[in-house]
Structure 1
Amino acid sequence: MAGRKLPNNLKLGVATSAYQIEGAWNSDDKTPSIWDVMCHQPNNIEDNTTGDDACKSYYFYKRDIDMLKFLGVDFYRFSINWTRLFPNGFTNITSSAGLDYYNNLINELLANNIEPVVTMYHWDLPQKLQDLGGWANPLIAYWFEDYARGLYKLFGDRVKTWITINEPHQIAVFGCGMDMLAPRINCHGIGEYLAAKNILMAHARAWHIYDEEFRKSQNGVCGIVIASDFAQGATNNIKDVEASVDAVEFHIGLYSHPIFSSDGDFPERVKRRVAAKSLEQGYPRSRLPEFTNDEIEYLKGTSDFFGFNHYTTYFYTRANYESSIIPSFYDDIGAKIVEMNFEKGVTFQCTIVPKGIRRALNWVKDTCNNPNIMIFENGFDSYGGLNDLNRVSYYRQYFDDILDAIEIDGCNITRYTAWSLMDNFEWASGSRLKFGLFQVDYDDENRKRSPRCSAIWYKQLISTRTLNLNYVPLLEDICF
């Protein structure tokens, strides 16, 4: 069979997150998260759906595992719902029902030779902690440390790959600086930077606890996942190129530089721009919080891998931010996105720019001391349908460039993860956007799952360990 052989050390998996698939939002003794609260308020979700039931994976997790077995994956990335396990938000009380659910899921995965990769935090903060300030309160670093320690104690004998926090940029900018995601603080130009520092400190505390108290006995790894959609200049004009460099530093470097660079701290370009803008706007000091010297040292090196999520590349031109919202994260960058003539999914975030993932991977290699890169999300959206050959085309093109990044550029990539195993609740977009390899029938009480062409394609990639650029998958008449 003609094609490109996959490296022997590249593990292949799929991902989901708790709020997006579990449902059972108030079952047993689970308490509300910020997403439960957001979804139950009118007009916050585009199609007015909620994650109350979602895919009902709380009840049907064994069927999810049947789907994983069908694909033949090496690992399954899922997240813990904080309030399902610790209803108070603090770790003084553990839910026996929540503990049973995650123990059963982990044990069933291992019984089927599927590695559990666990995300501690995938956006569903306990509402009780949000009421105390959430990610704007520096004490959350200690609350998260306690939470992480609780997870290590409960599951660390079986879980060997831990992700502390998924996509701090989205949490900080869209949830704290804007009102796109929960908890919708909308404190633009300030909230995102307070959250950024506190998220990083929370992550670092969770990593240090693992390193000092659990690594020797549990022999696993622990790291953070950073959204790594890339940026390029809309033209070759030096101003546009500089704008794209700033965009990368604000979107990725803000979180990667304190952890992976040799000197630590927030990136110099970000510090300079926010300080200058703050001065212009009459603030007595920069809106970007400072790290102390001790904090800079404490953060450096606190990830055993670079968790890498990527969907597309955006094109920037240097411009003043065209909005009355000042200050803001985007005004601080001083650039705007220009739509280019590329094929896209149903949203802008899935514009198909395959070369962009290779550029992003090389940026990580070059600026983050050539880390072990684990790709933990990559996917394409649609409005549904089983015959998703456009999604297959996306995966095929992106995977081709990932292999170039490995074979030609020397990027150290050890995992690839398709987002997502199945259709799920897609945050503020509700249930209308579909990212799943498997279609979920939300009109069916039992949430029937059916494999799309992309599931058949991924199954073939995994079984042959070969990227066949000419393979066209055919639908199989099967459901789960």
Structure 2
Amino acid sequence: MGIYLVFIIGAVIVSRSQGHAVDYLKFPDDLLLGAASSSYQVEGAWNEDGKGENIWDRMTHANPEKIDDRSTGDIACDAYHKTKEDIALMKDLGLQFYRFSISWSRILPTGFPNKINQAGIDYYNDLINQLLANNIIPMVTVYHWDLPQPLQDLGGFANPEIINWLKDYAKVVFDHFGDRVKTWITINEPKQICEFGYGTGMFAPGLQAGGIGNYLCTHNLLKAHAHIYHMYDKIYRRNQKGHIGITAECSWSEPATNATQDIEAAERRRQFDFGMYMNPIFHKNGDYPAVVKQFVAKRSKEEGFPRSRLPEFTQQEINFIKGTSDFFGLNHYTTVLVKDKKADPIGDPSQDKDTRVETFQDPNWLTGSFSYFRSVPWGLRKALNYIKHNYGNPEILITENGFPDAESFNDQGRIRYYKDNLKAVLDAIYTDHVRITVYTAWSLMDNFEWSSGYTVRFGLYHVDFNDTNRPRTPKESVKFYKNLIKTRRLNTEDPKLP
């Protein structure tokens, strides 16, 4: 157990080929293989044992039309009642670690630490202890989108007080679980929280305040993350001996042509897509990317705003945020082709209008049940190299990578996706010398996929959501991933697609 923890918390990687012939299809010993989930997507028990209401509870109940199949996460996979069963699946699969998130509302029903729900603490203690008893490392996300509704009623991430609210919540989490959890992710996917939650309104809390609300959210979120990092560093790291970082979803933006304007557009989309969130933390100069500041400021002026809609960091804040991650958490699913676009007519602001690009995909790229999630392994490799060269060669934890079903059980498309993307990971490690120490399959089982409800399935295990017992059934990809973990070698022979 101890040696895995040493690997995962980021010692400098020794050359993987010192004086030996290299098997380029074999996984290095220090690359951990696991799977992931998140609290709202799998737990269910939405109002049991003292849990409070969160923003997804509210949105799915009050605005069911925002979910493709009008479903909720009220029961989801019923993981709250199936800890022993699910860990047995993980053990049989051979997972080295399991990434999951903690429900803020389950341990702090009102969002504030003056009322701690002991039943929630007990649930996560039991989950962590059972994982460790089965030699599975817990990798824990502090915040994965399910803000307590009472805090949203006060403005949520648009209120600067979210910095204190998140910090107070994180302190409770570290106090209760940090003695056993050694890898922490503060926040999962800032873009999805802010752009989709406070910009387009596609995700909870469903606010449509594009070009303003999403930037306020981003500004406060980054400062909240930095405060959590510094608190852990100052108070907990010495005794708990863990590592802590942040995860962003980074699709790859490829220029659609060799024209200068399209090359610039692709880079601009990268900066709006993930640079806005990771540049302040990982870039040597900190702060938002220059092109983001420039384009938002220019359009804000044209729209008649007295100042840029993107808030400015003070130099003190830039210094405070810079360097606040022990690793780069990467969620990657697909690639888009990018062309420059003429500016939209002046009207209501939005991040899309600020970015000023057109995106599309090659219809020949492998796709499953959701056309956007196409398999483009060279895009993953380019993203990994981009992170290496632009963010100081950080240790990279691939915290999500996955593909939606086209078939319920014979998921050969998913197997091919994993094979092709894992080959890209190995190429990045051996040929490009990218420092990758974790690979995480999304997801362990089918779950509530946010605005898609149960219409999109990413799981290795099939879940029957029409059965009150929510039975789990292994798909063909379970056999593939189980053998991969056991042999620690990739068989690149393509499966026969159905």
**TM-score interval (norm. to shorter):** over 0.9
| Among 223, 235, 257, the residue aligned to 2:245 | 223
The size of the alignment, in residue pairs, is: 473
- The DSSP-based 3-state class of the residue aligned with 1:307 is strand
List gaps (5 residues or longer) in structure 2.
1-22
Counterpart in the other structure of 1:476 = none
Maintained 8 Å contact 2:268/2:291: yes
**Which TM-score applies when normalising by structure 1?**
0.96
| Among 401, 406, 409, the residue aligned to 2:429 | 406
- What percentage of aligned pairs have identical amino acids? 50
The AA in structure 2 aligned to 1:434 is R
| Among 20, 27, 37, the residue aligned to 1:16 | 37
- The DSSP-based 3-state class of the residue aligned with 1:5 is coil
Matched, 1:446 2:473: no
Q: Return the alpha-carbon distance in structure 1 between the equivalents of residues 86 and 258 of structure 2.
A: 47
Maintained 8 Å contact 2:416/2:495: no
Shift of 1:455: 1.1
Q: How does 1:142-153 map to 2 (within 5 A)?
A: 142-153=164-175
- The DSSP-based 3-state class of the residue aligned with 1:450 is strand
Maintained 8 Å contact 1:388/1:454: yes
Q: Return the alpha-carbon distance in structure 2 between the equivalents of residues 133 and 152 of structure 1.
A: 25
Counterpart in the other structure of 2:366 = 343
Maintained 8 Å contact 1:168/1:226: yes
The AA in structure 2 aligned to 1:468 is N
Counterpart in the other structure of 2:291 = 269
Alignment CA distance shift 1:282-1:157 (3 Å): same
Shift of 1:471: 7.4
Q: Return the alpha-carbon distance in structure 2 between the equivalents of residues 89 and 320 of structure 1.
A: 44
Counterpart in the other structure of 2:441 = 418
Counterpart in the other structure of 2:305 = 283
Q: Return the alpha-carbon distance in structure 1 between the equivalents of residues 382 and 232 of structure 2.
A: 32
Task: Name the stretch that deviates more: 379-388 or 100-109.
Answer: 379-388
Counterpart in the other structure of 1:4 = 25
**Which TM-score applies when normalising by structure 2?**
0.93
Counterpart in the other structure of 2:5 = none
| Among 197, 200, 213, the residue aligned to 1:175 | 197
Shift of 1:280: 1.0
Q: Any idea what the Cα deviations from partners look like across 1:179-210, whole Å, max 9, x if unmatched?
A: 10000111011111111111101111110000
The AA in structure 2 aligned to 1:280 is E
Maintained 8 Å contact 2:406/2:413: no
Q: Return the alpha-carbon distance in structure 2 between the equivalents of residues 345 and 82 of structure 1.
A: 33
Counterpart in the other structure of 2:479 = 456
Q: Return the alpha-carbon distance in structure 2 between the equivalents of residues 321 and 50 of structure 1.
A: 38
Counterpart in the other structure of 2:378 = 355
Counterpart in the other structure of 1:159 = 181
Alignment CA distance shift 1:396-1:323 (3 Å): farther
Task: Name the stretch that deviates more: 412-421 or 335-344.
Answer: 335-344
Maintained 8 Å contact 1:384/1:434: no
List gaps (5 residues or longer) in structure 1.
474-480
The AA in structure 2 aligned to 1:388 is D
Maintained 8 Å contact 1:421/1:436: yes
User: What value does the CA root-mean-square deviation take over the aligned residues?
Assistant: 1.5
Shift of 1:472: 5.3
Q: Any idea what the Cα deviations from partners look like across 1:106-125, whole Å, max 9, x if unmatched?
A: 00000000000000100000
Counterpart in the other structure of 1:332 = 354
The AA in structure 1 aligned to 2:182 is K
Counterpart in the other structure of 1:430 = 453
Alignment CA distance shift 1:454-1:273 (3 Å): same
Counterpart in the other structure of 2:141 = 119
Alignment CA distance shift 1:323-1:386 (3 Å): farther
Q: Return the alpha-carbon distance in structure 2 between the equivalents of residues 159 and 311 of structure 1.
A: 27
Matched, 1:31 2:52: yes
Shift of 1:162: 0.4
The AA in structure 1 aligned to 2:50 is D
Q: Return the alpha-carbon distance in structure 1 between the equivalents of residues 130 and 294 of structure 2.
A: 50
Q: Return the alpha-carbon distance in structure 1 between the equivalents of residues 440 and 309 of structure 2.
A: 36
Maintained 8 Å contact 2:196/2:203: yes
